[in-house]
Amino acid sequence: MAGCGSWLFSLTVFAVSLLGAKAEIKLTIPVGRLFTYELLRETFQNDFEPLSKLYAGRLYDDPMIFKCNQQNFPDLPEWLRFTQRHPYDNGFLYGTPMSQGKSIIEVYAVNKRSYETTRQIFVIKVVAEKMLPFQAEFFIKLREIEKVLPSAVQGEIKQDLQKLWDTEALEMINITNALDRGGRVPLPLAGHFEGVYVKVGSEQYFSDCLMKTLAAEHGKQCTAGAKVKVPGGCNFCSIPSNCISWCKIELFDLSKQEPAPPAPTMGSGIMDIGVDFDPPESPPSRDYFPDYMVTVIVPLILAIVLCLLLAYIMFGRREGVAKRDARTNHIQLYHHHTIHGNTDELRNMAGNRGASLPLSTLPMFNSRTGESAPPLQSDSPSIPLIMAQHDPYSDTLPRK
Ligand SMILES: *[C@@H]1O[C@H](CO)[C@@H](O)[C@H](O)[C@H]1NC(C)=O
C-alpha cells in the first residue's frame, strides 16, 4: 500500500511539475510605458504542494525567493528589473521597454522551506506605441519601490499627478528605486525610506503648476535649501506618503525636435564616379647599406677587438708555467726550513730540563713570603698535597 501511495505521490508531483513547466504566460505590452507584474507567492505555492496535501486541507505559507532571467541568458533584459523585499513578500517584475520585440522570461521560484523549485515562463511581446511628448519625473521621498509597484498604489499616485497636471490622459512611464540612481540606503529607522522616482507622460502640455517649477525663483529657493512651499492650489497630495518633493520635479519636453546633426562634409579624397583608381607611384627604393654598416658591422668589429684584447690579457700576460713551479718549490723549501727550526727549538728546550725549575712551580713555594720549602718527597703519604696557604703560622711550614 505504502509503495503504491508513494508512486501515486511521485506521479502527481511529476504531473504538477510538467504542468508548471508548460505554464506559459503571454503578455503584450506597449513600448515606452511602465510594465509591472506581481509574482504572487500564492500561485507558486500551489505548484509546490502536491494535490493530495491540498485535499488534506493543509495549507502552507512558505518563504520563497525568485530567480529571473531571460531564456538562454544569465540575466534579465536590460529594461526589465526584478525586486522582492523579503521571502514572505511577493516579487515584482517591472521596467519600461524602449524597443519592440519578444522576450522570454524564466522565473524560478525556490521554496525556502523544502528547497523545491518550480518554473514559470513569461512571453512578453512589446508592441509599438506612440511616444508621449511631455514627460515629467517626480520624487516620492516617503516610499519604497515594492510599496509603489502594486497597481492600487500606482493608481493613487497617478490620481494625484492627474490633478497636478490637470489632465486625465496621463500614463506611467517609469518607476525607479532611488538607490538605483545614486540614492543612499536609509537608516533602519521608522520614517526613513529609500525613495522612489516616478515618471509620467502625457499628450497634453504641462499645467501651470508644473510650469511654476521652471521659474528662476523656484530654482533659487530649492538650491538655497530652504523649505520650499508648494504654490497655492498646487498641493494635490491626498495621502502623505505619496507626496512628491516639490524641488525634485523634472520636466521633459520631447515635442521640440532636436536639430538634426549636420550632414557630414565631404573630404578632398573622394573620387568622381566612373574614374578608375590610379594608385600613387611607389616611393623610391632606399639604400640600406650604410644602415647595415652602422648597426651590424661596426658593433661586430668592436666586439672582435674587445675579444682579442681580453684574450691577450688572459693568456699573453700571464706568468709562465716554469716560473710558477719554481715559486711553489720555494714555498715548500721555506716550510721545510721553518719546521726544522721549530724542532731545534723544541730540542733545546727539552735539553734545558735539567736546570732548576722556576720557584713558582715548586710545591712548597709561599707566594707571600717568598720562602721555599726544602725539596720533599712528594709521593710521601704523610704530607698533604695541598697546604693551608692562608695560615702563615701553620706548624707544617718551617720558620727561619
Ligand atoms: C527607467 O529608469 C531606469 C533607472 O533609472 C533607467 O535605466 C531607464 O532608462 C528608464 N527608462 C525610461 C524609459 O525612462
**pLDDT at position 350, please?**
84
Mean pLDDT, residues 205-230 taken together: 84
On the question of pLDDT at 79 being above 90, the answer is yes
- pLDDT value, residue 281: 86
Nearest-CA residue for ligand 1 atom 7 is 79
Relative to beta strand 91-95, strand 35-39 is: antiparallel
User: If you ran DSSP here, which 8-state letter would residue 336 be given?
Assistant: H
Q: Which residue has the higher pLDDT, 289 or 363?
A: 289
Q: Evaluate: CB of 181 within 6 angstroms of ligand 1.
A: yes
Write the pLDDT tens digit of every residue in 95-148.
999 999 999 999 999 999 888 999 999 999 999 999 999 999 999 999 999 999
Comparison of pLDDT for 53 and 145, the residue scoring more:
145
Is ligand 1 within 6 A of the CB of residue 78? no
| Per-residue pLDDT tens over the stretch 283-334 | 888 899 999 999 999 999 999 999 999 999 998 876 655 555 556 666 666 7
| Contact assessment for residue 14 and residue 6, using Cβ atoms and an 8 Å cutoff | no
Task: Please indicate whether residue 180, judged by its CB atom, sits closer than 6 Å to ligand 1.
Answer: yes
227 has a pLDDT exceeding 80: no
Which residue has its alpha carbon closest to ligand 1 atom 3?
A: 176
Which pLDDT value is given to residue 337? 78
Probe target for ligand 1 pocket from 132, 138, 176, 179, with the most ligand atoms within 8 Å of CB: 176
How far, in Å, from the CA of 102 to the mean position of ligand 1? 19
Closest residue CA from atom 10 of ligand 1? 174
Phi and psi dihedrals of 299, rounded to 5?
Answer: -65, -30
CA of 145 to the centre of ligand 1 (A): 14
pLDDT for 11 beyond 50:
no
Ligand 1 geometric centre to CA of 172 (Å)? 12
The whole-number pLDDT of residue 84 equals: 95
The answer to whether the CB of 96 is under 6 A from ligand 1 is: yes
Taking the C-alpha atoms of residue 348 and residue 344, their distance in angstroms, rounded to an integer, is 6
**Are 250 and 136 contacting, i.e. CB atoms less than 8 angstroms apart?**
yes
Give the CATH architecture of domain 17-129.
Sandwich (2.60)
As a whole number of angstroms, the distance between CA 171 and CA 34 comes to 8
| Residue bearing cell 658591422 | 297
Please say if the pLDDT value at position 391 is more than 60. no
Which protein residue's CA is at the shortest distance from atom 13 of ligand 1?
96
Query: pLDDT category, 177, cuts 50, 70, 90?
Result: very high
Percent of the chain clearing pLDDT 90 (strictly above): 44
Average the pLDDT over each of 13-17, 39-43, 51-55, 226-230 and give the range with the smallest value.
Answer: 13-17
Separation of CA 96 and ligand 1 centre (Å): 7
Would you state the pLDDT for residue 3? 41
DSSP code of residue 31: T
Q: Confidence class of residue 4 from pLDDT cuts 50, 70 and 90?
A: very low
Residue that wins the pLDDT comparison between 47 and 326: 47
Counting ligand 1 atoms within 8 A of each CB, the residue from 174, 199, 251 with the most, and so the one to mutate, is: 174
Average pLDDT across the chain, whole number: 81
Taking the centre of ligand 1 as the mean of its atom positions, its distance from the CA of residue 174, in whole angstroms, is 6
Residue range 12-38: mean pLDDT, rounded: 74
Torsion angle, CA of 320/325/327/333, rounded to 10 degrees? -170
Please tell me if the CB atom of residue 327 comes closer than 6 angstroms to any atom of ligand 1: no
Mean pLDDT computed over 4-27:
54
Angle at 276 between CA 274 and CA 282, to 5 degrees: 160
Residues 241-265 have pLDDT tens digits of 999 988 889 999 988 877 788 888 8
State the pLDDT confidence band at 276, using cuts at 50, 70 and 90: confident
How many Cβ atoms are within 10 Å of 351's Cβ, its own excluded?
9
